[in-house]
A and B are shown apart, each in its own frame.
Chain A
Amino acid sequence: MASFVPTSEETLEDLRHYTEDRLVDVACLDCLARVRVKKNSDHQTSVQWSAEARSACQEFVRRDQRPGGRDVHKPCTRLMASIDDAVRAGDVPVGAYDGY
Protein backbone atom coordinates (compact mmCIF):
# COMPACT_ATOMS: atom_id res chain seq x y z
CA MET A 1 0.00 0.00 0.00
CA ALA A 2 1.28 3.46 -0.81
CA SER A 3 2.97 5.35 1.99
CA PHE A 4 4.91 8.63 1.86
CA VAL A 5 5.94 8.59 -1.77
CA PRO A 6 8.63 10.87 -3.18
CA THR A 7 7.93 12.21 -6.61
CA SER A 8 11.53 12.42 -7.78
CA GLU A 9 14.46 10.04 -8.12
CA GLU A 10 16.77 12.61 -6.55
CA THR A 11 14.88 12.33 -3.30
CA LEU A 12 15.87 8.68 -3.06
CA GLU A 13 19.45 9.72 -3.74
CA ASP A 14 19.23 12.25 -0.86
CA LEU A 15 17.84 9.58 1.40
CA ARG A 16 20.83 7.41 0.63
CA HIS A 17 23.31 10.25 1.23
CA TYR A 18 21.88 11.15 4.59
CA THR A 19 21.33 7.64 5.92
CA GLU A 20 24.06 5.50 4.35
CA ASP A 21 27.06 7.54 3.18
CA ARG A 22 30.39 7.52 4.98
CA LEU A 23 29.40 5.15 7.78
CA VAL A 24 32.44 3.20 9.03
CA ASP A 25 32.49 0.01 11.08
CA VAL A 26 33.40 0.21 14.74
CA ALA A 27 33.54 -2.84 17.03
CA CYS A 28 32.73 -2.62 20.71
CA LEU A 29 35.78 -3.36 22.82
CA ASP A 30 33.69 -5.15 25.44
CA CYS A 31 31.18 -7.24 23.50
CA LEU A 32 30.53 -8.62 20.03
CA ALA A 33 28.51 -5.64 18.81
CA ARG A 34 29.69 -4.03 15.56
CA VAL A 35 28.03 -0.76 14.60
CA ARG A 36 28.42 1.78 11.81
CA VAL A 37 29.55 5.26 12.81
CA LYS A 38 29.80 8.70 11.23
CA LYS A 39 31.16 11.91 12.67
CA ASN A 40 30.34 15.20 10.97
CA SER A 41 32.33 17.10 13.60
CA ASP A 42 34.03 16.52 16.95
CA HIS A 43 30.74 16.85 18.78
CA GLN A 44 28.45 15.11 16.29
CA THR A 45 28.13 11.33 16.18
CA SER A 46 25.75 8.99 14.32
CA VAL A 47 25.56 5.36 15.39
CA GLN A 48 23.73 2.89 13.18
CA TRP A 49 22.96 -0.42 14.88
CA SER A 50 21.78 -3.65 13.30
CA ALA A 51 19.47 -6.13 14.99
CA GLU A 52 22.45 -8.45 15.41
CA ALA A 53 24.57 -5.81 17.16
CA ARG A 54 21.60 -4.70 19.23
CA SER A 55 21.18 -8.18 20.69
CA ALA A 56 24.95 -8.64 21.15
CA CYS A 57 25.20 -5.63 23.47
CA GLN A 58 25.16 -7.00 27.01
CA GLU A 59 24.32 -3.60 28.42
CA PHE A 60 21.06 -3.48 26.42
CA VAL A 61 20.24 -7.09 27.27
CA ARG A 62 20.41 -6.14 30.96
CA ARG A 63 18.31 -3.03 30.47
CA ASP A 64 15.68 -4.73 28.31
CA GLN A 65 14.85 -6.95 31.29
CA ARG A 66 13.86 -3.92 33.33
CA PRO A 67 10.37 -2.45 32.90
CA GLY A 68 10.15 0.26 30.25
CA GLY A 69 10.85 3.74 31.47
CA ARG A 70 13.05 6.50 30.22
CA ASP A 71 16.42 4.87 30.95
CA VAL A 72 16.10 2.06 28.42
CA HIS A 73 16.85 4.55 25.70
CA LYS A 74 20.23 5.86 26.80
CA PRO A 75 23.37 4.94 24.83
CA CYS A 76 25.64 2.09 25.91
CA THR A 77 28.60 3.73 27.67
CA ARG A 78 30.97 0.91 26.67
CA LEU A 79 30.17 1.33 23.01
CA MET A 80 30.49 5.11 23.22
CA ALA A 81 33.93 4.69 24.82
CA SER A 82 34.89 2.27 22.03
CA ILE A 83 33.84 4.85 19.44
CA ASP A 84 35.92 7.54 21.17
CA ASP A 85 38.91 5.18 21.03
CA ALA A 86 38.36 4.53 17.32
CA VAL A 87 38.15 8.28 16.67
CA ARG A 88 41.39 8.90 18.59
CA ALA A 89 43.05 6.12 16.61
CA GLY A 90 42.01 7.88 13.39
CA ASP A 91 39.71 5.05 12.26
CA VAL A 92 36.67 7.33 12.02
CA PRO A 93 37.13 10.37 9.79
CA VAL A 94 35.76 13.56 11.31
CA GLY A 95 34.07 16.12 9.06
CA ALA A 96 31.00 16.48 6.89
CA TYR A 97 30.51 16.50 3.15
CA ASP A 98 27.90 19.09 2.14
CA GLY A 99 25.72 18.56 5.19
CA TYR A 100 25.99 14.78 5.45
Chain B
Amino acid sequence: MTDTRMLDQGTTPIRFARGWHCLGLASDFADGKPHAIHGFGTKLVVWQGANGELNVLDGYCRHMGGDLTQGEVKGDHIGCPFHDWRWGGDGKCKEIPYARRVPLRARTQRYETVVRNGQLLIWNDPEGSAADHDILPPELPDVMSDKYTPWSWHTKEINGSHCRELIDNVADMAHFYYVHFAFPTSFRNIFDGHTATQFMESKGRPDTMGGGYGDENSTLKSVATYYGPSYMINWLEVDYKGFVTEVILINCHIPTGPDSFLLQYGITVKKPEGLDEKTCAYIAERYTESFGDGFLQDVAIWENKVAVQNPLLCEEDGPVYQLRRWYEQFYVDVADIAPEMTDRFEFEVDTTKANEYWHAEVAENLAKRAAAEAAAPADA
Protein backbone atom coordinates (compact mmCIF):
# COMPACT_ATOMS: atom_id res chain seq x y z
CA MET B 1 0.00 0.00 0.00
CA THR B 2 2.87 2.39 0.78
CA ASP B 3 4.16 1.86 -2.78
CA THR B 4 1.06 3.49 -4.21
CA ARG B 5 1.85 6.71 -5.95
CA MET B 6 -0.26 9.61 -4.79
CA LEU B 7 -1.44 12.46 -6.98
CA ASP B 8 -0.46 15.75 -5.43
CA GLN B 9 -3.06 18.18 -6.70
CA GLY B 10 -1.32 21.07 -4.98
CA THR B 11 -2.98 24.42 -4.47
CA THR B 12 -3.32 26.92 -7.29
CA PRO B 13 -2.05 30.45 -6.94
CA ILE B 14 -4.33 33.17 -5.67
CA ARG B 15 -2.65 35.72 -7.92
CA PHE B 16 -2.63 36.25 -11.67
CA ALA B 17 0.47 36.18 -13.83
CA ARG B 18 2.66 39.20 -14.39
CA GLY B 19 3.09 40.05 -18.05
CA TRP B 20 1.48 41.06 -21.31
CA HIS B 21 -1.96 39.64 -22.02
CA CYS B 22 -3.89 39.94 -25.25
CA LEU B 23 -7.52 41.06 -25.06
CA GLY B 24 -8.34 40.51 -28.75
CA LEU B 25 -8.18 42.30 -32.08
CA ALA B 26 -7.73 46.04 -31.65
CA SER B 27 -10.23 46.70 -34.45
CA ASP B 28 -12.97 44.93 -32.47
CA PHE B 29 -12.73 47.63 -29.76
CA ALA B 30 -12.56 50.60 -32.12
CA ASP B 31 -16.25 51.46 -32.45
CA GLY B 32 -16.49 54.20 -29.80
CA LYS B 33 -18.48 51.92 -27.49
CA PRO B 34 -17.44 50.42 -24.14
CA HIS B 35 -16.55 46.70 -24.21
CA ALA B 36 -16.53 44.24 -21.33
CA ILE B 37 -13.74 41.70 -20.94
CA HIS B 38 -13.64 39.36 -17.97
CA GLY B 39 -10.11 39.00 -16.65
CA PHE B 40 -7.92 38.88 -13.56
CA GLY B 41 -10.85 38.11 -11.28
CA THR B 42 -12.83 41.17 -12.36
CA LYS B 43 -14.45 42.76 -15.38
CA LEU B 44 -12.47 45.22 -17.48
CA VAL B 45 -13.83 48.05 -19.58
CA VAL B 46 -12.16 48.65 -22.95
CA TRP B 47 -12.91 51.65 -25.15
CA GLN B 48 -11.45 53.83 -27.85
CA GLY B 49 -11.49 57.55 -27.10
CA ALA B 50 -12.18 60.28 -29.66
CA ASN B 51 -8.39 60.70 -29.89
CA GLY B 52 -8.10 57.12 -31.20
CA GLU B 53 -6.38 55.71 -28.09
CA LEU B 54 -7.48 52.35 -26.71
CA ASN B 55 -7.97 52.38 -22.95
CA VAL B 56 -8.46 49.64 -20.37
CA LEU B 57 -9.69 50.17 -16.80
CA ASP B 58 -11.21 48.04 -14.10
CA GLY B 59 -14.87 47.85 -15.09
CA TYR B 60 -16.33 49.01 -11.79
CA CYS B 61 -16.61 52.70 -10.96
CA ARG B 62 -14.83 53.82 -7.79
CA HIS B 63 -17.76 56.11 -6.88
CA MET B 64 -20.52 53.63 -6.06
CA GLY B 65 -19.48 50.60 -8.08
CA GLY B 66 -21.38 51.32 -11.30
CA ASP B 67 -20.64 49.09 -14.29
CA LEU B 68 -18.56 51.18 -16.67
CA THR B 69 -18.95 48.61 -19.45
CA GLN B 70 -22.59 49.71 -19.61
CA GLY B 71 -21.62 53.39 -19.69
CA GLU B 72 -21.00 55.68 -22.59
CA VAL B 73 -17.88 56.96 -24.28
CA LYS B 74 -17.84 60.76 -23.97
CA GLY B 75 -14.92 62.31 -25.86
CA ASP B 76 -11.80 60.53 -24.67
CA HIS B 77 -13.42 59.34 -21.45
CA ILE B 78 -15.83 56.69 -20.25
CA GLY B 79 -18.91 57.97 -18.44
CA CYS B 80 -20.45 55.78 -15.73
CA PRO B 81 -24.14 54.88 -16.24
CA PHE B 82 -24.91 55.47 -12.54
CA HIS B 83 -23.89 59.13 -11.90
CA ASP B 84 -21.83 59.95 -15.01
CA TRP B 85 -18.39 60.24 -13.41
CA ARG B 86 -15.98 60.49 -16.34
CA TRP B 87 -12.86 58.34 -16.23
CA GLY B 88 -9.76 58.75 -18.39
CA GLY B 89 -7.46 56.08 -19.78
CA ASP B 90 -4.83 57.11 -17.20
CA GLY B 91 -7.14 55.86 -14.46
CA LYS B 92 -8.06 59.32 -13.13
CA CYS B 93 -11.55 60.72 -12.80
CA LYS B 94 -11.56 63.74 -15.10
CA GLU B 95 -14.94 65.23 -14.41
CA ILE B 96 -18.05 64.89 -12.29
CA PRO B 97 -20.70 66.87 -14.15
CA TYR B 98 -22.68 67.74 -10.99
CA ALA B 99 -19.75 68.43 -8.63
CA ARG B 100 -17.59 71.44 -7.79
CA ARG B 101 -14.45 69.40 -7.86
CA VAL B 102 -13.19 65.85 -8.33
CA PRO B 103 -11.87 64.12 -5.18
CA LEU B 104 -8.09 63.86 -5.25
CA ARG B 105 -8.20 60.15 -4.59
CA ALA B 106 -10.39 59.40 -7.61
CA ARG B 107 -8.02 56.96 -9.28
CA THR B 108 -8.96 53.51 -10.46
CA GLN B 109 -7.05 50.46 -11.67
CA ARG B 110 -5.75 51.08 -15.19
CA TYR B 111 -3.84 48.80 -17.50
CA GLU B 112 -1.10 49.98 -19.85
CA THR B 113 -1.95 49.13 -23.44
CA VAL B 114 -0.01 48.38 -26.61
CA VAL B 115 -1.32 47.46 -30.03
CA ARG B 116 0.91 44.82 -31.55
CA ASN B 117 0.25 42.87 -34.75
CA GLY B 118 -3.26 44.30 -34.76
CA GLN B 119 -4.03 43.01 -31.26
CA LEU B 120 -4.64 44.86 -28.02
CA LEU B 121 -2.21 43.83 -25.29
CA ILE B 122 -2.30 44.95 -21.68
CA TRP B 123 0.24 44.70 -18.88
CA ASN B 124 -0.83 42.98 -15.67
CA ASP B 125 1.25 43.01 -12.53
CA PRO B 126 -0.09 42.36 -9.01
CA GLU B 127 2.89 44.38 -7.73
CA GLY B 128 1.83 47.36 -9.86
CA SER B 129 5.09 47.83 -11.78
CA ALA B 130 5.31 49.90 -14.96
CA ALA B 131 4.85 47.89 -18.15
CA ASP B 132 8.01 46.24 -19.47
CA HIS B 133 8.10 47.06 -23.18
CA ASP B 134 11.34 45.10 -23.69
CA ILE B 135 9.50 41.80 -23.34
CA LEU B 136 6.63 42.48 -25.74
CA PRO B 137 6.05 39.78 -28.34
CA PRO B 138 7.85 40.61 -31.60
CA GLU B 139 6.23 42.39 -34.50
CA LEU B 140 5.36 40.02 -37.31
CA PRO B 141 6.64 41.38 -40.61
CA ASP B 142 4.02 41.65 -43.38
CA VAL B 143 1.20 40.37 -41.21
CA MET B 144 -1.58 42.98 -41.49
CA SER B 145 -0.45 43.69 -45.07
CA ASP B 146 -2.10 42.22 -48.15
CA LYS B 147 0.50 39.44 -48.18
CA TYR B 148 -1.46 37.72 -45.39
CA THR B 149 -5.13 36.98 -44.90
CA PRO B 150 -6.80 39.10 -42.16
CA TRP B 151 -6.74 37.61 -38.64
CA SER B 152 -9.47 35.08 -38.11
CA TRP B 153 -10.05 35.48 -34.37
CA HIS B 154 -11.90 33.18 -31.96
CA THR B 155 -12.49 32.83 -28.24
CA LYS B 156 -13.40 29.95 -25.97
CA GLU B 157 -14.24 30.04 -22.27
CA ILE B 158 -12.56 27.32 -20.23
CA ASN B 159 -13.97 26.54 -16.81
CA GLY B 160 -12.58 24.21 -14.14
CA SER B 161 -8.92 24.38 -15.22
CA HIS B 162 -6.05 26.64 -14.31
CA CYS B 163 -4.39 28.09 -17.41
CA ARG B 164 -1.21 26.18 -16.56
CA GLU B 165 -2.88 23.15 -18.18
CA LEU B 166 -2.63 25.01 -21.48
CA ILE B 167 1.02 25.86 -20.88
CA ASP B 168 1.85 22.18 -20.15
CA ASN B 169 1.20 21.45 -23.84
CA VAL B 170 4.52 23.11 -24.68
CA ALA B 171 6.46 20.15 -23.28
CA ASP B 172 3.97 17.38 -24.03
CA MET B 173 5.25 15.32 -26.94
CA ALA B 174 3.08 12.21 -26.61
CA HIS B 175 -0.31 13.95 -26.45
CA PHE B 176 0.17 14.98 -30.09
CA TYR B 177 -0.29 11.33 -31.04
CA TYR B 178 -3.16 10.50 -28.69
CA VAL B 179 -5.07 13.78 -28.57
CA HIS B 180 -4.20 15.46 -31.86
CA PHE B 181 -3.70 12.28 -33.96
CA ALA B 182 -0.25 13.08 -35.30
CA PHE B 183 3.17 11.43 -35.16
CA PRO B 184 5.56 13.95 -33.57
CA THR B 185 8.74 12.95 -35.42
CA SER B 186 10.98 15.63 -33.92
CA PHE B 187 10.42 17.51 -30.67
CA ARG B 188 12.56 20.03 -28.83
CA ASN B 189 12.08 22.67 -26.12
CA ILE B 190 14.07 25.73 -25.20
CA PHE B 191 13.22 27.88 -22.20
CA ASP B 192 15.17 31.10 -21.91
CA GLY B 193 14.36 34.19 -19.88
CA HIS B 194 10.70 35.06 -20.40
CA THR B 195 10.33 32.81 -23.48
CA ALA B 196 9.47 29.12 -23.81
CA THR B 197 9.67 27.48 -27.22
CA GLN B 198 8.55 24.20 -28.69
CA PHE B 199 10.00 22.98 -31.99
CA MET B 200 8.05 20.15 -33.52
CA GLU B 201 7.75 18.27 -36.77
CA SER B 202 4.78 16.03 -37.17
CA LYS B 203 2.82 14.00 -39.64
CA GLY B 204 -0.88 13.12 -39.51
CA ARG B 205 -2.01 9.60 -38.59
CA PRO B 206 -3.60 7.64 -41.44
CA ASP B 207 -5.90 5.67 -39.10
CA THR B 208 -7.84 8.61 -37.68
CA MET B 209 -10.07 11.29 -39.12
CA GLY B 210 -8.37 14.05 -37.14
CA GLY B 211 -8.32 17.56 -38.56
CA GLY B 212 -5.53 20.01 -37.70
CA TYR B 213 -2.43 18.06 -36.85
CA GLY B 214 -4.06 14.75 -37.69
CA ASP B 215 -4.60 14.90 -41.45
CA GLU B 216 -2.62 12.06 -42.95
CA ASN B 217 -1.84 14.12 -46.05
CA SER B 218 -0.15 16.86 -44.11
CA THR B 219 3.26 17.32 -42.55
CA LEU B 220 3.86 20.14 -40.11
CA LYS B 221 6.93 22.09 -39.14
CA SER B 222 6.05 24.13 -36.12
CA VAL B 223 7.92 26.67 -33.99
CA ALA B 224 5.85 27.93 -31.09
CA THR B 225 7.12 30.49 -28.58
CA TYR B 226 5.47 31.86 -25.47
CA TYR B 227 6.50 35.46 -24.91
CA GLY B 228 5.68 35.69 -21.23
CA PRO B 229 2.92 33.75 -19.46
CA SER B 230 0.08 33.97 -21.92
CA TYR B 231 0.93 34.96 -25.48
CA MET B 232 2.23 32.37 -27.92
CA ILE B 233 3.19 32.86 -31.54
CA ASN B 234 3.17 29.61 -33.51
CA TRP B 235 4.84 29.67 -36.91
CA LEU B 236 3.60 26.71 -38.93
CA GLU B 237 4.72 25.40 -42.25
CA VAL B 238 2.07 23.02 -43.47
CA ASP B 239 2.90 20.70 -46.32
CA TYR B 240 -0.35 19.36 -47.73
CA LYS B 241 0.33 16.87 -50.52
CA GLY B 242 3.39 18.86 -51.51
CA PHE B 243 1.64 22.26 -51.36
CA VAL B 244 3.33 24.30 -48.65
CA THR B 245 1.44 27.01 -46.76
CA GLU B 246 2.80 29.35 -44.09
CA VAL B 247 0.39 29.81 -41.25
CA ILE B 248 0.77 31.96 -38.15
CA LEU B 249 -1.30 30.98 -35.16
CA ILE B 250 -1.64 33.16 -32.08
CA ASN B 251 -2.59 31.22 -28.99
CA CYS B 252 -3.26 33.44 -26.00
CA HIS B 253 -5.46 33.60 -22.96
CA ILE B 254 -6.69 35.82 -20.15
CA PRO B 255 -7.08 34.23 -16.73
CA THR B 256 -10.58 35.00 -15.45
CA GLY B 257 -10.53 33.27 -12.06
CA PRO B 258 -8.36 30.81 -10.10
CA ASP B 259 -9.50 27.92 -12.27
CA SER B 260 -10.91 29.48 -15.41
CA PHE B 261 -9.59 31.36 -18.39
CA LEU B 262 -10.62 32.76 -21.73
CA LEU B 263 -8.71 31.07 -24.55
CA GLN B 264 -8.25 33.20 -27.66
CA TYR B 265 -6.70 32.16 -30.93
CA GLY B 266 -6.15 33.87 -34.23
CA ILE B 267 -4.96 32.62 -37.56
CA THR B 268 -3.43 34.36 -40.54
CA VAL B 269 -2.19 32.64 -43.68
CA LYS B 270 0.46 33.88 -46.06
CA LYS B 271 -1.37 34.11 -49.36
CA PRO B 272 0.12 31.56 -51.73
CA GLU B 273 1.40 33.08 -54.99
CA GLY B 274 -0.97 32.91 -57.91
CA LEU B 275 -4.14 32.20 -55.93
CA ASP B 276 -7.10 34.58 -56.01
CA GLU B 277 -8.49 36.22 -52.85
CA LYS B 278 -11.43 33.87 -52.62
CA THR B 279 -9.24 30.76 -52.63
CA CYS B 280 -6.86 32.33 -50.08
CA ALA B 281 -9.80 33.13 -47.81
CA TYR B 282 -11.05 29.57 -48.21
CA ILE B 283 -7.66 28.10 -47.26
CA ALA B 284 -7.46 30.39 -44.22
CA GLU B 285 -10.93 29.30 -43.09
CA ARG B 286 -10.00 25.60 -43.40
CA TYR B 287 -6.88 26.08 -41.27
CA THR B 288 -8.81 28.13 -38.73
CA GLU B 289 -11.35 25.36 -38.47
CA SER B 290 -8.80 22.58 -38.13
CA PHE B 291 -6.63 24.32 -35.53
CA GLY B 292 -9.79 25.35 -33.70
CA ASP B 293 -10.70 21.65 -33.61
CA GLY B 294 -7.21 21.00 -32.25
CA PHE B 295 -7.90 23.26 -29.26
CA LEU B 296 -11.21 21.51 -28.63
CA GLN B 297 -9.33 18.20 -28.46
CA ASP B 298 -7.24 19.66 -25.62
CA VAL B 299 -10.28 21.20 -23.92
CA ALA B 300 -12.00 17.81 -23.70
CA ILE B 301 -8.99 16.53 -21.75
CA TRP B 302 -8.70 19.55 -19.45
CA GLU B 303 -12.38 19.52 -18.58
CA ASN B 304 -12.06 16.01 -17.17
CA LYS B 305 -8.57 15.78 -15.71
CA VAL B 306 -7.33 16.87 -12.30
CA ALA B 307 -4.48 19.22 -11.52
CA VAL B 308 -1.20 17.42 -10.85
CA GLN B 309 1.66 18.97 -9.00
CA ASN B 310 3.81 15.81 -9.22
CA PRO B 311 3.54 14.36 -12.74
CA LEU B 312 5.19 10.95 -13.10
CA LEU B 313 7.31 10.90 -16.24
CA CYS B 314 8.81 8.26 -18.52
CA GLU B 315 11.93 8.59 -20.62
CA GLU B 316 9.98 9.65 -23.71
CA ASP B 317 8.24 12.57 -21.99
CA GLY B 318 9.16 16.23 -22.36
CA PRO B 319 10.52 18.50 -19.60
CA VAL B 320 7.29 19.29 -17.73
CA TYR B 321 9.03 20.13 -14.46
CA GLN B 322 11.45 22.55 -16.12
CA LEU B 323 8.59 24.14 -18.05
CA ARG B 324 6.64 24.73 -14.86
CA ARG B 325 9.75 26.06 -13.15
CA TRP B 326 9.94 28.59 -16.01
CA TYR B 327 6.22 29.42 -15.69
CA GLU B 328 6.60 30.04 -11.95
CA GLN B 329 8.57 33.27 -12.59
CA PHE B 330 5.33 35.02 -13.55
CA TYR B 331 3.63 34.14 -10.26
CA VAL B 332 6.22 35.35 -7.77
CA ASP B 333 7.28 38.89 -6.92
CA VAL B 334 10.08 40.12 -9.16
CA ALA B 335 12.41 40.08 -6.14
CA ASP B 336 11.67 36.36 -5.66
CA ILE B 337 12.46 35.17 -9.20
CA ALA B 338 15.06 32.43 -8.72
CA PRO B 339 17.85 32.07 -11.32
CA GLU B 340 16.70 28.58 -12.36
CA MET B 341 13.30 29.97 -13.38
CA THR B 342 14.85 32.09 -16.14
CA ASP B 343 18.12 30.23 -16.84
CA ARG B 344 18.23 28.79 -20.32
CA PHE B 345 17.27 25.12 -20.55
CA GLU B 346 17.24 22.95 -23.68
CA PHE B 347 15.67 19.54 -24.06
CA GLU B 348 15.52 17.26 -27.05
CA VAL B 349 12.92 14.51 -26.75
CA ASP B 350 13.83 11.06 -28.06
CA THR B 351 10.95 10.34 -30.44
CA THR B 352 12.51 7.26 -32.10
CA LYS B 353 11.11 4.46 -29.93
CA ALA B 354 7.73 6.13 -29.51
CA ASN B 355 7.31 6.42 -33.27
CA GLU B 356 8.29 2.79 -33.78
CA TYR B 357 5.55 1.67 -31.37
CA TRP B 358 3.03 4.09 -32.80
CA HIS B 359 3.64 3.06 -36.39
CA ALA B 360 3.08 -0.55 -35.39
CA GLU B 361 -0.15 0.38 -33.62
CA VAL B 362 -1.41 2.38 -36.60
CA ALA B 363 -0.56 -0.46 -39.01
CA GLU B 364 -2.61 -2.78 -36.80
CA ASN B 365 -5.54 -0.35 -36.73
CA LEU B 366 -5.48 -0.08 -40.51
CA ALA B 367 -5.37 -3.86 -40.90
CA LYS B 368 -8.36 -4.21 -38.53
CA ARG B 369 -10.27 -1.59 -40.46
CA ALA B 370 -9.51 -3.29 -43.80
CA ALA B 371 -10.64 -6.64 -42.38
CA ALA B 372 -13.90 -5.11 -41.09
CA GLU B 373 -14.59 -3.48 -44.44
CA ALA B 374 -13.93 -6.73 -46.27
CA ALA B 375 -16.32 -8.60 -43.96
CA ALA B 376 -19.14 -6.05 -44.36
CA PRO B 377 -19.23 -4.69 -47.89
CA ALA B 378 -20.43 -1.08 -48.01
CA ASP B 379 -24.07 -0.47 -48.94
CA ALA B 380 -24.63 0.40 -52.56
Taking Cβ atoms with an 8 Å cutoff, the residues of A that contact B are: 1-8, 10-11, 14-15, 18-19, 40-51, 54, 67-70, 73-75, 96, 99-100
Contacts and interface: CB of A to CB of B under 8 A. Distances in A.
Contact of A6 (B14, B310, B322, B339): B310
Interface residues of B, number: 51
Contact of A54 (B319, B321, B343, B353): B343
Interface string B10-21: 111111000000
Given A2-B11, A3-B328, A19-B322, A46 B312 contact: no
A12 B51 CA distance: 53
Given A1-B126, A7-B9, A73-B225, 4 more contacts: A1-B14, A4-B328, A10-B310, A15-B321
B68 to A, nearest CB: 28
B315 interface: yes
A15 B343 CA distance: 16
Contact of A42 (B312, B324, B345, B350): B350
Interface of B: 6, 8-15, 126, 138, 164, 190, 192, 195, 197, 223, 225, 233, 235, 309-310, 312-315, 317, 319-322, 324-325, 328, 331-333, 339-340, 342-353
A66 to B, nearest CB: 11
Nearest to A40: B315
B225 A70 contact: yes
B328 A73 contact: no
9 contacts: A3-B332, A6-B8, A7-B11, A10-B310, A11-B310, A18-B320, A45-B348, A47-B344, A49-B345
B350 A46 contact: no
